[in-house]
Structure formats: structure tokens, C-alpha cells
Amino acid sequence: MDPLSDVLSLLKLRSYVSGGFDASGDWAVQFGPHNGIKFHAVLMGECWVSVDGAHEPVKVFAGECFLLASGKPFRLASNMAVEPVDVGTLLPPVRDGRIVTYNGGGEFLSIGGYFTLADGQADLFLNMLPPLIHVREQPNRATLRWCVERMRQELVDLQLGDFIVAQQLATMVLVEALRLHVSDTRRDGVGWLFALADERLRAAINAMHESPGRRWTLQTMAEHAAMSRTTFTLKFKELVGVSPMDYLTRWRMMLAADRLTSSRDSVSEIGLALGYESEKSFSSAFKRVMNCSPRRYGRQQREAVVEMR
């Protein structure tokens, strides 16, 4: 698999469509902090989106969507000068995921949802993403438009199985949005996705994902990227935001966390398979990244699964 498929599969991605918002006039809605990834697709009209801590609000037009991966509070508004109301006041929970009308509707229509990720590993992935991913309208983006339109139909038409269909469509929206973000030549920033847009760095990341247990050095990574060690190291850090070795460690810990939860492998077996010569060195690396020992992590995750049953 490719790195994006690797990570999303490992994180046990689940999608949920929370419903639509049909509005008119001036409005502003404040959303609180959230877990996982939020997404919104604008079907009609336009709105501003502002994420706490971001530099400037971003204007989103019909046919575009955006993803929010930082978990920070954010605001949607027709006009940023409008005093926002809390989403819990304006839009009480809608259990059936249908479209809610505000102020008569008819001028603005969006569909929103969210994605949950496996506990304990989500932050390793989310920290690699920019807090706001804005996917702009382009003539060649028929797949994304089709998915969003089908989601709207599933919310409106009330067909059998519509909830499951909408979930699958939402997952397609996420993957397509990430693909398009990677291919956007106007992108400017630091993060894991930006590195995947670079053919040579992507080759090195592919190799690390395919052989995480290999005894990697900066030189062997650079060879996969067809670059000198110095150039590779500098460019990787510039685009990804962490060093190549730090990235490899994070990927190994994501794999380790999954195996500690879903397999009966011992800590030493997992460490050896991921390239660590001793259980001690593996445990030290795991604790540094995951903030707890491998044994404690595995125990906590298994107990959490039992509690959910």
C-alpha cells in the first residue's frame, strides 16, 4: 500500500455524517474543540472559516470543502463581523443526521461530518497534518463533487441504508480531499502531506513504510530519494517538519501500538520486528513517543476494549 493508505488503515478510520446546514442572511456559528478530523463541504453559497490560532480566516465557496485536523475550536460565518452563537444553541444535536434550516435557508448549504481514529495513535497522524486543509474548486475534481452530491441526496431522500452509504461517501471525500491537497501546486506549508507531493521524498517514505524493521541510516534513506544525504536531510526536515529518523520512529511506534493492541506478540518480538536490537531500546523509544511503556499501553488498550463490550 501507499503511505496514506497505510496510515488510514492502521488508524481504523471511521466516518460519520453529522448533517447539513441550510441558512440565509447573516450568521456565525462557533464550534468547540473536537477529536479526530472534522470536514465540511459547501454545496451552495459561501462562508468564512476561522480556526483558533490560525493567521487569517479562509473563504470557502460552493464546490469546495475543508478539513480540520488540529482539534481546535473554529468558527463558520457568512460575515466575520457577526457575533457568533454557540453551535449547541443554534443547532441542537441532530441524531438522524438530517439537514437543519436556519433563518429560512436557501442561500447557503453545507454538509458536515467527522472522522474518528484509533485511540493512542491519532495524535501521531494528526500532528503531521496542517490544522486547516482547504480544497478549492477545480474543473478536474469531478470525483469529489460527485461524492458530496451523493451525500446530500442520501441525507434528503431517506432511503434504506442511507446512513451506511453516507459514511462510505464521507471516507471517499476525506481521501479525495487529501489527494487533491497533495496535488495542489499552490500549497505552502510544512507537514507530512507536503512531502508526499515530492516524488523523491515520497520514494523514501514508501521505502520506510514497506520495511520499517530495516536498519535504516540517513544514507540509505537518501539513496531511495536519489539525493545526497545532506540535501535529503535538509529537504525532509523542511517539508515534513521533523527529521527523517524522527519520522521513521513515529511510523514504527504507530505499528507497534497497533500490534500491542491487536496481537499476542511480546514486547521484545515487536521491537525486534521493527528494527530494535533490544527490548530496552524499543521500550525507551516507545515511551518517548507514546508517553508510556509498551506494556502499559497494551494493557490500557485491551482494558478499554473490554469496557466497551
- Strand-by-strand arrangement of the 28-31 sheet: 58-61, 46-51, 74-77, 28-31, 85-86
Q: Is the pLDDT of residue 128 over 70?
A: no
- The whole-number pLDDT of residue 281 equals 95
CA-derived radius of gyration, the chain: 21
Considering the domain architecture, whether residues 176 and 36 belong to the same structural domain is answered as yes
Q: Measuring CA to CA, how many Å separate 242 from each of 77, 233, 237, 250?
A: 34, 10, 5, 10
Q: Is the pLDDT of residue 9 over 80?
A: no
- The whole-number pLDDT of residue 269 equals 95
Task: Give phi and psi for 130, each to the nearest 5.
Answer: -65, 155
d(CA 2, CA 103): 45
**Residue 35 binned pLDDT confidence (cut-offs 50, 70, 90):** confident
Q: Mean of the pLDDT values across residues 263-279?
A: 93
Domain end call among 162, 186, 210: 186
Task: Answer whether residue 290 is part of any domain.
Answer: yes
- The whole-number pLDDT of residue 305 equals 55
Task: Answer whether residue 86 is part of any domain.
Answer: yes
Please tell me the least confidently modeled range out of 5-14, 196-205, 265-274: 5-14
Domain end call among 169, 186, 203: 186
Task: Answer whether residue 84 is part of any domain.
Answer: yes
Considering the domain architecture, whether residues 200 and 171 belong to the same structural domain is answered as no
Q: Is the pLDDT of residue 2 over 80?
A: no
- The pLDDT tens digits of the residues spanning 83-110 come to 998 887 765 554 445 677 777 778 998 8
DSSP annotation of 205 reads: H
Q: Which residue has the cell 514508501?
A: 206
Domain count for the chain, please give it.
2
Considering the domain architecture, whether residues 206 and 176 belong to the same structural domain is answered as no
Considering the domain architecture, whether residues 247 and 166 belong to the same structural domain is answered as no
- The whole-number pLDDT of residue 91 equals 58
- Which has the closest alpha carbon to 239: 194, 296, 177, 182? 194
Please tell me the least confidently modeled range out of 36-50, 96-110, 186-200, 282-296: 186-200
- The whole-number pLDDT of residue 95 equals 47
pTM for this predicted structure: 0.71
Q: Is the pLDDT of residue 231 over 60?
A: yes
Please tell me the least confidently modeled range out of 8-22, 45-59, 194-208: 8-22
Considering the domain architecture, whether residues 202 and 182 belong to the same structural domain is answered as no
Q: Is the pLDDT of residue 76 over 80?
A: yes
Most confident of 32-36, 97-101, 122-126, 134-138: 32-36
Considering the domain architecture, whether residues 198 and 177 belong to the same structural domain is answered as no
Considering the domain architecture, whether residues 138 and 89 belong to the same structural domain is answered as yes
Which residue has better confidence, 74 or 112? 74
Considering the domain architecture, whether residues 222 and 175 belong to the same structural domain is answered as no
Spatial contact of 42 and 63, defined as CB atoms under 8 Å apart: yes
Considering the domain architecture, whether residues 221 and 154 belong to the same structural domain is answered as no
- The pLDDT tens digits of the residues spanning 175-188 come to 877 777 776 655 55
- The whole-number pLDDT of residue 304 equals 63
Q: What is the CATH number of the domain that holds 197?
A: 1.10.10.60
- The whole-number pLDDT of residue 186 equals 54
d(CA 59, CA 65): 10
Q: What is the CATH number of the domain that holds 154?
A: 2.60.120.280
Q: Mean of the pLDDT values across residues 192-197?
A: 74
Spatial contact of 51 and 131, defined as CB atoms under 8 Å apart: yes
Range of the domain at 75: 11-186
Q: Is the pLDDT of residue 309 over 60?
A: no
Considering the domain architecture, whether residues 230 and 118 belong to the same structural domain is answered as no
Task: Answer whether residue 138 is part of any domain.
Answer: yes
Domain end call among 186, 201, 229: 186
Task: Answer whether residue 222 is part of any domain.
Answer: yes
